[in-house]
Amino acid sequence: MTLRTLGALSVEGVTFRREKVLLLLAYLCLEGPQPRRRLAELFWPDATNPMNSLAQHLVHLRGLPGALAEDGQRVAAAMPCDAATLRDLVRRGRHEDAAALYAGPFMDALTIPLGADLEEWVFDTRDAVAQDARAALMTLGAQAAAHGHGPRAGELAARALTLDGAPPPDELDLPRLHHLLSLAGHPLAAQVERDARSLGLNLTAAPTPISAPFAGREAELAALNTLTPGQTAWISGHAGMGKTALLEALARSGGWTVLAGRAEPPYATLSPLTAAPPTHPQAAHAALRDPHLRVAIDSWDAADPATQAALTHAAAARPGAVIVITSRHHPPFDVDLHLNLGPLPPGDLRAHPEVHARTDGHPVLVGHALRGQPLDLRLGARVRAYPDPVRDTFLLLALQDQPNLRATRAALNQDAATFARTLAYLTTEGLTSETGRVYAAATTREHLNQIHVHAALLHLRLARALPEDTAWPHYDRSRDLWEDPDETRAAHAARHHAHTHLKRGYPGQAAALLDTLSHLPTLAVPHAWALIGVGRYQDALTRLNTLSAHDQQVSDALAARAVTLIRLGRTDEAVTLAEQISGSGPDAAHAASVRAHAARIREQWDAARRHAQIAADLWNLHGDDEAHLTELGMVARAQVGLGSEPQVAFKEVLRRSQDLPSVHGMILVNYASLLGQSGDMPGARAALASALEPLAAAGDQQGLAHVHSNIGVSCHLSGELAQAAAHYRQALQLLKGSGNVRLLGATLSNLSEIDGDLSAFGDALTLLEQAGQVDLVQQIRHNARMVSAS
C-alpha cells in the first residue's frame, strides 16, 4: 500500500477517507519518527487533552496494515508516501520517475481546519514538493536541449513553468526556463521575459542549436545542472572522451557560459567575463563572484597560469559562481564534483545499439557514426602523423582483440620503459584503454587490410612473438611473407589452433584449416583427426599414408589409423593396429576405444564393456573429462547389450556428464537410440528433446544436427512425414560448413525418401560426390525420383 498525497488523498488499495488521520500519516512519512507529545501539540493545539486525541487517531492508523511503527514514546510511518518518494527520486537523480509521480499539489484536497503551525507545514511542503517536481522537469528539459531536441525541451519547460501548486519561478529558474522555451520557439517565452524584466533580470536569447550529434551522458548532465552557487566541478578524461562535447551540450541546456582555455596573455581565459581584460588577481576574483554565473572552462591544461591560480582560489573561497573545469588530468585541488569520462556504456547508446558495437562507445567515433562519417576520419589521420614506433605499436595492438602486451613489446623490439611510455601516450591520446585494447579495433583492421603487404608484415611480427597456442591467426594472415624458419613454428601454431577447434566441437573448422597445410608432414596426424571428426575417413587414411614408413609406426599415427579403419568398417585391420599400441598414454586410450567399438560391432558386449572401461580409465588418468565420460557412455551401451535396462545403465553417466554440455547431449542421443530400439518411443523422443538445451549451450552444431536427424528418423518411422522433413532440413542447415560428410549423406538420404525436390541441396550433393560418396548420391537421386514420380 502507498499513501497518495499528490492531487488526491487516499491509501492505495483501501477505502479510507479520514483526512486528519491521513494527514498525520503523511507528516510521519515526510518528517520521520516523532515524539508522541510533539505530534499531539502540533495537530491538536486547542484540544483539552491532545494526547487522547492523538491516541484515538493512532487507533485508526493501526487498522491500516503496515502503516505504523511504534517504539515507546516515538511513532514512525512504515508505509511509502508518493511525496516522500518523489523527493527521494530527485535526490537520487531519477528525474523522469519523479516528474511522472507528480499528480497535483500536495494535500490540495484537504477540507478540514488546521492550526496555524500545521497549516504552515502543509503550505511549505506543498511548495517544496512542487519545486522538486519543477526541478526534475527542468533537468529533463535541459537534457533534451543538450541532445538537440528543442521541441521536447520547450514542452518540458512549459510544464515546469505552469506546474500546478508550484510557486512563481525565482531569479535562478527564470533564465533557464527562458532559454529552453526560446530554443523551441514556445509562446510562453514572452511571459517569462516579462516576469524577468519585472525582477530586473536581463535575459539573453537562446543560442543557435549546435548540429553535432550528442548521445548519452544523461547522468553527467544532470549532475552538472544541479550544482549550486559556489560549487566547483572537474571533468577529467583522456583525449577524445567527450569533455568538450559535454560542455557544448551543457551550453545548449541553458544558463551556461563556456570559455576556451587560452595560454596568453594572463587571465586571457576569463576575459570574456569582464568589460575589460583582468590584469590582477582581484579583478579575476571579482569576475567569479556573481552567484547567477555558471561558467565552464575548456580546458585547464590550455589555460594560462594566472587563470589557473584564480580558479584554484575560487574553488577554495567559493565566491559565488558555479565553475566547471575540464582537463586530461585529475583535479589538483578539492572540488565538489569530479566526473572522470571514459567510453560511453551500451546503456547510453540504447537508441543506437549498432553504434556501440562499431565504436566500443568511444565518444569521437560515436559522433562520426551518428553523422554517417567514416570512423577513421580523425583517429586515422592522427595515427598516420605519429612516429613509426608509436604508429606500429598502435597497429599491433589493433590486430589483437585481447592484446598480449609482452608479445607486442617483443614484436616491436622495445625495452620495457620505452614500451610503457608509448602505451601511456596512446592511452592519454584516447586511442587505447589502460590494458592496451584499441577502441573500435575492427575498423582499424579493416583499413589496415587494404594495405596488404604492410598488414601482413605486422601480422608476421606479432605471430613470431606470440605463444604458439595463439599465434596461428597471425601466421595465417602473413603466409606470403613466411621465411623457412617460420614454417616449423607456424605448423606448431596451426596444430594448437586445430586442436582448439576439435575440443570446441568444430572438426570442420579444424579440417578446413589443416587442408590448407596438407604439404606439411608434421601435421598429418592432427589433420587426420580433424578429418575423422567430420566423417572424411578415406581422406584421413590418405593423409596418414603420406607419412614415411617409419612415422606410420609411431603410436599417434597408429592410433589415428586404427580409429579411421574402425570407422570405415575394417574392423580386423583396426584391431590389429590397436594391439600394436602399448603404454598408458592417450594413444593407448584410443586403442582401447577401437577394441571396444570392434567388440560392439561384433556384439561381444562383455569385451566391449571391458575395453571401453579401460579407455575411460586412461582418459581419466590424463585429466580429459570429455573423453573419459564419452567412453563411459560406451560402457553404458555395452551394459544394455548385456541385458541391463537403458534407464539403469545410463543413469550414472548422465548424472556425471551434466557439467559438460556437449558430452551430455551426445550421451542423451545414444541413450535415446537405445530407448527407441527397446520400443520406448515416447522416452526416446523425450531424451532427444532434452539433448537440445545442453548441445545449444555448448554451441555444438554437429551434436544438434545429430539430435534433429534422430528426431527426424523417429517421426519418419511413425509416419509423421512433414515433421520428419522439417527436422531433416534443420539438421542439414546445422551441418553447413561442418564437413561431416557421413551425417550429411545419411540425413539427405532420409529426406530424399520424403521430399523429391533436391534443388536446394545441390552443393551438398556435390560435396558428397567429391568425398567419394558416389553410390550414396545415386541412391539419394533415385529416392527423389521415386517420390517425384509418385
List, in sequence order, the alpha helices (H) in 147-242.
150-161, 173-183, 188-198, 218-225
Kindly state whether residue 333 falls inside one of the protein's structural domains.
yes
Rounded to whole angstroms, the Cα distance separating 507 from 702 reads 9
- Sort residue 660 into left (φ over 0), alpha (ψ -120 to 50) or beta: beta
43 contact partners, CB below 8 Å, separation of at least 6: 20, 23, 24, 27, 50, 53, 54, 57, 115, 118
Kindly state whether residue 328 falls inside one of the protein's structural domains.
yes
What would the DSSP string read from start to end of 521-537? GGGHHHHHHHHHHTT-H
The partner residues of 323 in beta bridges, in order of sequence, read 232, 295
Amino acid at 789: A
Q: CA angle 144-150-154, nearest 5°?
A: 85
CB 90 within 8 A of CB 102: no
Domain range for 313 = 223-340
Kindly state whether residue 764 falls inside one of the protein's structural domains.
no
Longest dimension (CA), the chain: 116
Q: Over 90: is that where the pLDDT of 64 sits?
A: no
Long-range CB pairs of 570-575 (<8 Å, 24+ gap) are 571/598, 571/601, 571/602, 574/598
Radius of gyration of the chain from its Cα atoms, rounded to whole angstroms: 38
List, in sequence order, the alpha helices (H) in 217-374.
218-225, 243-253, 281-287, 305-317, 353-359, 363-371
Q: Give pLDDT tens digits for 191-238.
A: 888 888 788 777 765 555 545 567 888 888 888 988 889 999 999 988
How many Å separate Cα 786 from the centre of its chain? 52
Res. 183 pLDDT band, cuts 50 70 90: confident
Q: How many CB atoms lie within 10 A of CB 561?
A: 23
Higher pLDDT, 234 or 661: 234
* First-to-final CA distance of the chain: 70
Amino acid at 133: A
Res. 698 pLDDT band, cuts 50 70 90: low
Taking the model in full, what pTM does it have? Answer: 0.57
Rounded to whole angstroms, the Cα distance separating 8 from 787 reads 75
Rounded to whole angstroms, the Cα distance separating 8 from 103 reads 8
Q: Lowest mean pLDDT of 167-171, 467-471, 546-550, name the range.
A: 167-171
What total of structural domains would you count in the chain?
A: 1
Higher pLDDT, 556 or 535: 556
643 contact partners, CB below 8 Å, separation of at least 6: none
Kindly state whether residue 317 falls inside one of the protein's structural domains.
yes
Rounded to whole angstroms, the Cα distance separating 404 from 407 reads 5
Mean of pLDDT values over 608-612 = 95
Kindly state whether residue 272 falls inside one of the protein's structural domains.
yes
- Three cell numbers at 493? 601454431
Confidence at residue 267, expressed as pLDDT on a 0 to 100 scale: 85
- Three cell numbers at 341? 569520462
Helix (H, G, I), strand (E, B) or coil at 47: coil
Amino acid at 255: G
Helix (H, G, I), strand (E, B) or coil at 630: helix
Q: Which residue has the cell 537520487?
A: 92
Q: Over 90: is that where the pLDDT of 743 sits?
A: no
Enclosing H/E stretch for 385 = none
Amino acid at 176: R
Phi, psi of 587 (to 5 degrees): -65, -40
Q: Which residue has the cell 493545539?
A: 45
- Nearest alpha carbon to residue 564 among 541, 546, 581: 541
Q: Over 80: is that where the pLDDT of 505 sits?
A: no
689 contact partners, CB below 8 Å, separation of at least 6: 711
Q: Over 90: is that where the pLDDT of 715 sits?
A: no
What would the DSSP string read from start to end of 259-271? EE---SSTTTTTG
Confidence at residue 723, expressed as pLDDT on a 0 to 100 scale: 92
Q: Give pLDDT tens digits for 757-780.
A: 666 566 666 666 665 666 666 766
Helix (H, G, I), strand (E, B) or coil at 462: helix
**% pLDDT > 70, the chain:** 92
Rounded to whole angstroms, the Cα distance separating 321 from 337 reads 15
Mean of pLDDT values over 303-314 = 90
In angstroms, what CA-CA distances link 525 with 361, 432, 597, 630? 45, 41, 21, 21
Confidence at residue 189, expressed as pLDDT on a 0 to 100 scale: 83
- Nearest alpha carbon to residue 146 among 95, 180, 177: 180
How many Å separate Cα 97 from the centre of its chain? 25
Q: Lowest mean pLDDT of 438-452, 594-608, 637-651, 688-702, name the range.
A: 438-452
Number of H helices, E strands in the chain: 39, 10
Confidence at residue 90, expressed as pLDDT on a 0 to 100 scale: 87
Rounded to whole angstroms, the Cα distance separating 2 from 80 reads 5
Confidence at residue 780, expressed as pLDDT on a 0 to 100 scale: 63
Amino acid at 8: A
Rounded to whole angstroms, the Cα distance separating 672 from 700 reads 18
Kindly state whether residue 396 falls inside one of the protein's structural domains.
no
In angstroms, what CA-CA distances link 753 with 683, 723, 787? 26, 14, 7
Strands 322-327 and 232-236, bridge-based pairing: parallel
Rounded to whole angstroms, the Cα distance separating 659 from 162 reads 62
In angstroms, what CA-CA distances link 422 with 261, 416, 436, 481? 27, 10, 10, 27
- Sort residue 494 into left (φ over 0), alpha (ψ -120 to 50) or beta: alpha
The partner residues of 327 in beta bridges, in order of sequence, read 236
Amino acid at 73: Q
CB 704 within 8 A of CB 666: no
- Three cell numbers at 182? 526560446
Q: How many CB atoms lie within 10 A of CB 718?
A: 12
Phi, psi of 36 (to 5 degrees): -60, -45
Q: Give pLDDT tens digits for 94-112.
A: 888 999 999 999 998 888 8
95 contact partners, CB below 8 Å, separation of at least 6: 89, 135, 136, 137, 139, 140, 222
Kindly state whether residue 280 falls inside one of the protein's structural domains.
yes
Mean of pLDDT values over 340-364 = 84
Q: Over 70: is that where the pLDDT of 756 sits?
A: no
Kindly state whether residue 189 falls inside one of the protein's structural domains.
no
Q: Over 60: is that where the pLDDT of 310 sits?
A: yes
Q: Over 60: is that where the pLDDT of 739 sits?
A: no
Res. 336 pLDDT band, cuts 50 70 90: very high
- Sort residue 239 into left (φ over 0), alpha (ψ -120 to 50) or beta: beta
Confidence at residue 537, expressed as pLDDT on a 0 to 100 scale: 79
Find the CATH number of the domain harbouring 228.
3.40.50.300
Amino acid at 648: V
Measured in residues, the chain has a length of 790
32 contact partners, CB below 8 Å, separation of at least 6: 76
18 contact partners, CB below 8 Å, separation of at least 6: 57, 60
Phi, psi of 507 (to 5 degrees): -65, -30
- Nearest alpha carbon to residue 541 among 572, 574, 493, 575: 574
Q: CA angle 439-445-446, nearest 5°?
A: 115
Rounded to whole angstroms, the Cα distance separating 367 from 375 reads 9
Q: Give pLDDT tens digits for 520-530.
A: 888 999 999 88
176 contact partners, CB below 8 Å, separation of at least 6: 138, 142, 157, 254, 255
